[in-house]
């Protein structure tokens, strides 16, 4: 991926309401104005990197970029799952992300169970790979504190 790392910042908005409720994986979603800034050659798929809410602590994250074929979305989205449990809604707060690497292309699934299994596999993959020392520069990047 020639456009990585990729940094984005924007307000967290309501998404489709599926992450927490249907999938058990809450997501922080960007508005179309942020999604539309993605480089045109950044492929749809699942990525991993780091995220921060309101310039606070920096956490590992997994992000889905694309159309979510299982749900037949009509708008491209950026849905971030932060590997941290927040005890509040994050709507209206600022999300900063740094996308570091690609996990897999987006794809359709035969069932919600298959989708959840893939998401959990993506989370495990990101959690393990983000411990690599090569990512320390980004884990502590000044972008998260500007």
Closest CA to 10 of 126, 101, 93: 93
pLDDT digits 0-9 by tens, 134-144: 999 999 999 99
Higher pLDDT, 146 or 40: 40
Place 52 in a pLDDT band, splitting at 50, 70 and 90.
very high
Structural domains in the chain, CATH included, are 6-136 (2.40.30.30)
79 is catalytic: yes
Q: Cα 35–36–40 angle (5° rounding)?
A: 105
Distance of CA 144 to the CA centre of its chain: 15
pLDDT given for residue 51 in this prediction: 98
Single out the catalytic residue among 11, 43, 75, 79. Answer: 79
pLDDT given for residue 22 in this prediction: 65
For residue 73, pLDDT beyond 60: yes
């Amino acid at each position: 991926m020639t456009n990585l790392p990729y940094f984005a910042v924007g307000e967290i908005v309501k998404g489709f309401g599926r992450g927490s409720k249907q999938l058990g994986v809450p997501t922080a979603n960007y508005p179309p104005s942020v999604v539309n800034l993605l480089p045109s050659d950044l492929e749809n798929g699942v990525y991993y990197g780091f995220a921060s809410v309101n310039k606070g602590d920096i956490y590992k994250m997994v992000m889905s970029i694309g159309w979510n074929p299982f749900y037949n979305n009509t708008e491209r989205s950026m849905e971030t799952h932060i590997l941290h449990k927040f005890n509040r809604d994050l709507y209206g707060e600022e999300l900063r992300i740094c996308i570091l690497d690609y996990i897999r292309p987006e794809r359709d699934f035969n069932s919600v169970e298959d989708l959840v299994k893939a998401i959990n596999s993506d989370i495990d993959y990101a959690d393990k790979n983000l411990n690599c020392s090569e990512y320390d520069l980004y884990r502590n990047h000044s972008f998260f504190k500007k």
